[in-house]
Structure 1
Amino acid sequence: MEKMVSSWCNTLKSIPQDYVFPEDTRPGDQIVPILKNCPMIDLEKAVSGDRNDVIRQVLQASQDFGFFKVINHGVGEDLIKDTIGMVKEFFNMTNEDKASLYSLDSYKSCRMYTSSFKYDRESIHQWRDVLIHFCHPLDELVDTWPNNPFKYRDVVGKFSVEVRNLSLRILEMIREGLELKPGYFRDELTGVQLMTLNHYPPCPDPSLTLGIPKHSDRNIITILYQDNVCGFQVLKDGQWVGVEPFANAFVVNIGQQLKIISNGKLESVEHRVVTNSKEPRYTIASFIIPHGDTIIEPEKTLVEKDNCHPLYQPFQYKDFVRALEEEHLCEIDATHGSV
């Protein structure tokens, strides 16, 4: 637990060297503008209004931005408030109360770690603490979750089910928009749900470090809830721009697997998380993930309809993840001259 950023950052006046990112990847002192035309989609209109228009908006945002915000999404305001409250309560418990959850074993279905899941192999650490656990099927996994705070399992369990349902609703709109066969995103492509609860403590020099470095999500789709503190940034037209929190809205990221399945029609946005020096930031990210043995490839009907060649070769999802992790670690080590 002594490795957790929150355990030692309060007494710091400068950043430890192993948290300082290379000059070309750190945020620096440059002021990042807020994205003014961030796509905001009202999902209620898919039920009470023109569903085809909402589907068009989802596809357009997925193509042009690789992400979008959704409002009136069906996840209750009180449930969202209670869940983010549980996240804050959890991370503000004593280290003694959280110690049993800390682990570097990536095979554990529920654990705490700091920086990334490869802390012991990375040269540069990220300014965040994480609780991570699998969520689906809930009844088989919830007993591995924290039982403190009291009601954590009940509140976060309800939230995870609602967010999974939201993910599947959005994927169904994407399926309709791409004219894929009914049930396309069931079973193997969406069988795994993983949730990360993130705590980004205040940082004495946010210009030098990152909560999460630049990446695009490697899964199918991600549903992110950020509380009321800015920190999420996307790369748009070669420039970093901030995505402001909006009350009760979720950010939806298109994952790399959707980009591949659509043969490049849909984009997967590159994004990062920056820190701040004044207040802690808390977020909840829900990832819909294929089973490891699932074969991922461009959908043949899309390739045939567009009369083009597939841009990607078929692969097993677990091989994709393994290759990406190895590449990521090599990139980090290379910046410190250890490769």
Structure 2
Amino acid sequence: MGYMVGADTEIPELPKVDLSGLYMKGSDEKIWTAARSKIAEALETYGGFEVIYSEVSSELRNKLLGLVVPGMFNMPAVNKLSEAQELPYHGFWFSKLGFPFLAIQLINPNSRVDVQEYAEIIWPKGNDFFSNTVLNYAKHMHELINMIHRMILENLGLEDHYDSHMKSLAYSIRFSNYYKNEFDNGTNLALPSHKDPNFVSIICPHGVEGLEVEAAGATGGEWIRTNTMTNLFIVLVGEAFKAWSNGRLHAPNHRVKLKNETERRYAVIFSTLPSATNDTVNAPEELIDEQHPLLFKAFKYYDYVKFRFSEEGEKTDDALKAYCGA
């Protein structure tokens, strides 16, 4: 973890890794290995890092978060989607009772057909600007998140598992809106502390700070505030990867806390998660030995999600351990 010097004190920051110019094929081996090592250390210690990735232009980012997302949440159709939720966190619509937060999710954001059908739900005649912007952004995120998965598996010595691992995954994009809460008690907390249940999330904020990650092992609740640089994204590991890696990767608590009650924050989250037809999460045998006994029994991801967001699951300090701890 690095530190940013403030007016009176040093403010902790997540590690930064520059993946600009790196690709799945043809990358300089020394640069790839150095970046991979930084990611390994960051994920084992903090469960996340900030990635610099200049392949996404500031123009594309501004189109997505400055025009597409705000326009979407202003559409009348969006206000009628509250009954469209089929599965917590992975439903078309997601909100958190008592908190000023709304999210809309699209599975398979790299499919033009799916993106256009999605646009037609919100805009009666569709929206080519929305579709083209989302597809362009998803193309870059698909490359980036696949690269991160490959580096993680290489660090675990499981590069031979890469193809089968990636075939078992699905991709999603979530558009999030954090806004003023007229009933706020002064905390400005838009989304409470939680862990993501999926594999990896890449979060793209737009100008307004707010995402905070809890420092691993913190006893006093030390929170690391993330940055909002134009070429920077925040990468977080979810519980599925923690279980799959037999605890070698840390899934961090994180929250969204706005600076004041008048702020509105938009973000786009691109994620990997188990596919609906292959959702068993099971640690590979290579990661289980005397020094690393099995921590989590094999489980069905979507059954876990239902538990994770149930009343019982919400009450537990560690839902994953409560559900499938070995």
TM-score (norm 2): 0.78
* Distance of 2:314 and 2:238 partners within structure 1: 22
Task: Report the equivalent of 2:323.
Answer: none
2:175–2:269 contact (8 Å) kept in structure 1: yes
Task: Report the equivalent of 2:200.
Answer: 221
Q: Please state how far the C-alpha of 1:278 moved relative to its aligned partner.
A: 3.0
Kindly tell me: are residues 45 and 196 of structure 1, through their superposed partners in 2, closer, same or farther at Cα, counting changes over 3 Å? closer
Identity level (%): 22
Deviations 1:234-290 (A, max 9, x none): 111232232121222110001111111111111011001123323311111112110
Bigger mean CA offset, 79-88 vs 141-150: 141-150
* Distance of 1:208 and 1:37 partners within structure 2: 22
Kindly tell me: are residues 326 and 285 of structure 1, through their superposed partners in 2, closer, same or farther at Cα, counting changes over 3 Å? same
1:43–1:70 contact (8 Å) kept in structure 2: yes
1:175–1:184 contact (8 Å) kept in structure 2: no
Q: Please state how far the C-alpha of 1:209 moved relative to its aligned partner.
A: 5.5
Task: Report the equivalent of 1:135.
Answer: 108
Task: Report the equivalent of 2:270.
Answer: 286
Matched, 1:90 2:72: yes
RMSD of the TM alignment (CA)? Answer: 2.7
Q: How does 1:265-284 map to 2 (within 5 A)?
A: 265-275=248-258, 276-284=260-268
Matched, 1:106 2:89: no
Matched, 1:295 2:280: yes
Q: 1:309 is matched by which residue type in structure 2?
A: P
Kindly tell me: are residues 45 and 55 of structure 1, through their superposed partners in 2, closer, same or farther at Cα, counting changes over 3 Å? farther
Paired residues in the alignment total 286
Kindly tell me: are residues 65 and 328 of structure 1, through their superposed partners in 2, closer, same or farther at Cα, counting changes over 3 Å? farther
1:215–1:272 contact (8 Å) kept in structure 2: yes
* Distance of 1:125 and 1:295 partners within structure 2: 32
Q: Which runs of 5+ in 2 are unaligned?
A: 1-8, 317-326
Q: 1:41 is matched by which residue type in structure 2?
A: V
Task: Report the equivalent of 2:165.
Answer: 185
Matched, 1:308 2:289: no
1:34–1:242 contact (8 Å) kept in structure 2: no
Helix, strand or coil at the partner of 2:204: strand
TM-score (norm 1): 0.76
Task: Report the equivalent of 1:230.
Answer: 209
Q: How does 1:1-339 map to 2 (within 5 A)?
A: 35-44=11-20, 46=22, 47-48=27-28, 50-72=31-53, 74-85=55-66, 86-93=68-75, 95=76, 98-99=78-79, 102-107=81-86, 111-112=92-93, 115-116=95-96, 124-136=97-109, 138-147=111-120, 148=123, 150-180=128-158, 181=160, 182-188=162-168, 190=169, 192-204=170-182, 205=184, 207-208=186-187, 210-236=189-215, 237=218, 238-275=221-258, 276-292=260-276, 293-304=278-289, 307-327=291-311, 331=315
Q: 1:132 is matched by which residue type in structure 2?
A: Q
Deviations 1:116-167 (A, max 9, x none): 3xxxxxxx42212322222345134123322445511111122123212211
Q: 2:234 is matched by which residue type in structure 1?
A: V
Q: Please state how far the C-alpha of 1:65 moved relative to its aligned partner.
A: 0.6
1:211–1:273 contact (8 Å) kept in structure 2: yes
Q: 2:72 is matched by which residue type in structure 1?
A: F
Q: Answer 1 or 2: which has greater strand percent.
A: 2
Q: Which runs of 5+ in 1 are unaligned?
A: 1-32, 117-123, 333-339
* Distance of 1:110 and 1:156 partners within structure 2: 19
Q: 2:301 is matched by which residue type in structure 1?
A: Y
Which has the higher relative contact order, 1 or 2, with Cα contacts under 8 A spaced 6 or more apart? 1
Kindly tell me: are residues 98 and 295 of structure 1, through their superposed partners in 2, closer, same or farther at Cα, counting changes over 3 Å? closer
Q: Please state how far the C-alpha of 1:176 moved relative to its aligned partner.
A: 1.0
Bigger mean CA offset, 272-281 vs 322-331: 322-331
